[in-house]
Structure 1
Amino acid sequence: MQGASRWLWAVGLILLSLAWAQVREGLDLGALNAFKARLEGEVAQGRLPGAVFLVARHGQVVYHEAVGYLDPQTRSPMTREAIFRIYSMTKPLTSALALALAEEGRLSLTDPIHLYLPEFREAKVGVEKPGPGGQPTLELVPASRPITVYDLLRHTSGITYGIFFDSLVKQEYRRMGADAVDQTPEEFLGKLSRLPLQFQPGTIWEYGNSTDLLGHLMERLTGKSLAQLLEERIFKPLGMADAGFLVPQEKQSRIAEPFAIDPLTRQPTPPALDVRRSPKRHSGGAGAVATALDYYRFLQALLNGGELGGRRILSPKSVALMTQDHLGPLYLPSLQRGAPYLPGPGYGFGLGVAVRLADGGSPLPGTAGDYYWGGLFGTYFFVDPKEKLIGVWMMQNPGGRTYYAQLFRSAVYASLR
Structure 2
Amino acid sequence: MLAAHVSEGPLPGAVALVARGDRIELAEVGSADAAGTTPLTRDSIFRIASLTKPVVAAAVMTLVEDGRIALDDSVGRWLPELAAPMVVRTPAAPLDDVVPAVRAITVFDLLTFRSGHGFPSDFSLPAVAPLFSELKQGPPQPQHIAEPDAWMAALSRIPLLHQPGEAWLYNIGSDILGVLIARVTGRSLPEFLAERLFEPLGMVDTGFEVPAGNRDRVPPYYRTDETGGLELIDAPDGQWSTVPPFPSGAGGLVSTVADWHAFARMLLADGRADGRAGDRALLSPASVRQMTTDHLTRPQRDASTLFLEGQGWGFGGSVDVEKIDPWNVPGRYGWVGGTGTAAHITPSTGSVTILLTQLEAGPVPSPLLRDFWRHASR
TM-score (norm 1): 0.82
Structure 1 CA distance for aligned equivalents of residues 302 and 318 of structure 2 = 17
Q: Does the aligned pair in 1 maintain the 2:12–2:36 contact within 8 Å?
A: no
**308, 314, 320: which one aligns with 2:283:** 314
Matched, 1:323 2:285: no
Structure 2 CA distance for aligned equivalents of residues 163 and 292 of structure 1 = 31
Instruction: Give the structure 2 partner of residue 151 of structure 1.
Output: 109
Structure 1 CA distance for aligned equivalents of residues 116 and 283 of structure 2 = 28
**237, 240, 248: which one aligns with 1:275:** 240
Q: Does the aligned pair in 2 maintain the 1:159–1:210 contact within 8 Å?
A: yes
| Structure 1 position 154, deviation (Å) | 0.5
| Structure 1 position 299, deviation (Å) | 0.4
| Structure 1 position 311, deviation (Å) | 2.5
Q: Does the aligned pair in 1 maintain the 2:12–2:33 contact within 8 Å?
A: yes
Amino acid in structure 1 at the alignment position of 2:253: A
Structure 1 CA distance for aligned equivalents of residues 348 and 120 of structure 2 = 37
Matches within 5 A, 1:63-82: 63-73=25-35, 75-82=37-44
SS at match of 1:234: helix
Q: What 5-or-longer segments of structure 1 have no aligned partner?
A: 1-34
Instruction: Give the structure 1 partner of residue 375 of structure 2.
Output: 411
| Structure 1 position 74, deviation (Å) | 5.8
Of stretches 90-99 and 266-275 in structure 1, the one that deviates more from structure 2 is 266-275
SS at match of 2:334: strand
CA pair 333-48 structure 1, distance change in 2 beyond 3 A: closer
Q: Does the aligned pair in 1 maintain the 2:333–2:345 contact within 8 Å?
A: yes
| Structure 1 position 94, deviation (Å) | 0.4
SS at match of 2:87: strand
CA pair 78-130 structure 1, distance change in 2 beyond 3 A: closer
Structure 1 CA distance for aligned equivalents of residues 82 and 331 of structure 2 = 34
Structure 1 CA distance for aligned equivalents of residues 46 and 121 of structure 2 = 22
CA pair 155-205 structure 1, distance change in 2 beyond 3 A: same
Q: What 5-or-longer segments of structure 2 have no aligned partner?
A: none
Instruction: Give the structure 1 partner of residue 129 of structure 2.
Output: 171
Structure 2 CA distance for aligned equivalents of residues 200 and 381 of structure 1 = 31
What percent of counterpart residues are identical? 34
Matched, 1:303 2:263: no
SS at match of 1:393: strand
**180, 187, 209: which one aligns with 1:217:** 180
Structure 1 CA distance for aligned equivalents of residues 268 and 51 of structure 2 = 16
Instruction: Give the structure 2 partner of residue 42 of structure 1.
Output: 5
SS at match of 1:76: coil
Q: Does the aligned pair in 2 maintain the 1:212–1:285 contact within 8 Å?
A: yes
| Structure 1 position 355, deviation (Å) | 1.0
**187, 204, 214: which one aligns with 2:167:** 204
CA pair 297-262 structure 1, distance change in 2 beyond 3 A: farther
| Structure 1 position 233, deviation (Å) | 0.6
Amino acid in structure 2 at the alignment position of 1:246: E
Of stretches 65-74 and 80-89 in structure 1, the one that deviates more from structure 2 is 65-74
Instruction: Give the structure 2 partner of residue 108 of structure 1.
Output: 70
**255, 276, 297: which one aligns with 2:218:** 255
SS at match of 1:242: coil
**250, 261, 271: which one aligns with 1:285:** 250
Amino acid in structure 1 at the alignment position of 2:34: P
- Number of equivalences: 365
Q: Does the aligned pair in 2 maintain the 1:71–1:256 contact within 8 Å?
A: yes
SS at match of 2:89: strand
CA RMSD of aligned residues (A): 2.4
Tell me the alpha carbon deviations over residues 327-361 of structure 1, each in whole angstroms, 9 at most, x when there is no partner.
Answer: 123524624xxx62x2222x211111111223x3x
CA pair 292-47 structure 1, distance change in 2 beyond 3 A: same
CA pair 73-145 structure 1, distance change in 2 beyond 3 A: farther
Amino acid in structure 1 at the alignment position of 2:287: S
Structure 2 CA distance for aligned equivalents of residues 220 and 330 of structure 1 = 34
| Structure 1 position 257, deviation (Å) | 2.0
Instruction: Give the structure 2 partner of residue 91 of structure 1.
Output: 53
Q: Does the aligned pair in 2 maintain the 1:89–1:374 contact within 8 Å?
A: yes
Structure 2 CA distance for aligned equivalents of residues 84 and 162 of structure 1 = 28
Matched, 1:350 2:290: no
Bigger Cα Rg = 1
| Structure 1 position 61, deviation (Å) | 4.8
CA pair 139-249 structure 1, distance change in 2 beyond 3 A: same
CA pair 166-267 structure 1, distance change in 2 beyond 3 A: farther
Q: Does the aligned pair in 2 maintain the 1:86–1:375 contact within 8 Å?
A: yes
Q: Does the aligned pair in 2 maintain the 1:116–1:221 contact within 8 Å?
A: yes
Tell me the alpha carbon deviations over residues 28-60 of structure 1, each in whole angstroms, 9 at most, x when there is no partner.
Answer: xxxxxxx2xxx22322232212110011112x2
Q: Does the aligned pair in 1 maintain the 2:46–2:255 contact within 8 Å?
A: yes
Structure 2 CA distance for aligned equivalents of residues 156 and 212 of structure 1 = 13
| Structure 1 position 118, deviation (Å) | 1.2
Structure 1 CA distance for aligned equivalents of residues 100 and 136 of structure 2 = 21
Q: Does the aligned pair in 1 maintain the 2:318–2:333 contact within 8 Å?
A: yes
Of stretches 121-130 and 46-55 in structure 1, the one that deviates more from structure 2 is 121-130
SS at match of 1:259: strand
Matches within 5 A, 1:332-347: 332=301, 334-335=303-304, 340=306, 342-345=307-310, 347=311
Instruction: Give the structure 2 partner of residue 231 of structure 1.
Output: 194
Q: Does the aligned pair in 2 maintain the 1:47–1:263 contact within 8 Å?
A: no
Structure 1 CA distance for aligned equivalents of residues 91 and 252 of structure 2 = 36
Instruction: Give the structure 2 partner of residue 160 of structure 1.
Output: 118
Of stretches 278-287 and 173-182 in structure 1, the one that deviates more from structure 2 is 173-182
| Structure 1 position 407, deviation (Å) | 1.4
SS at match of 1:169: coil
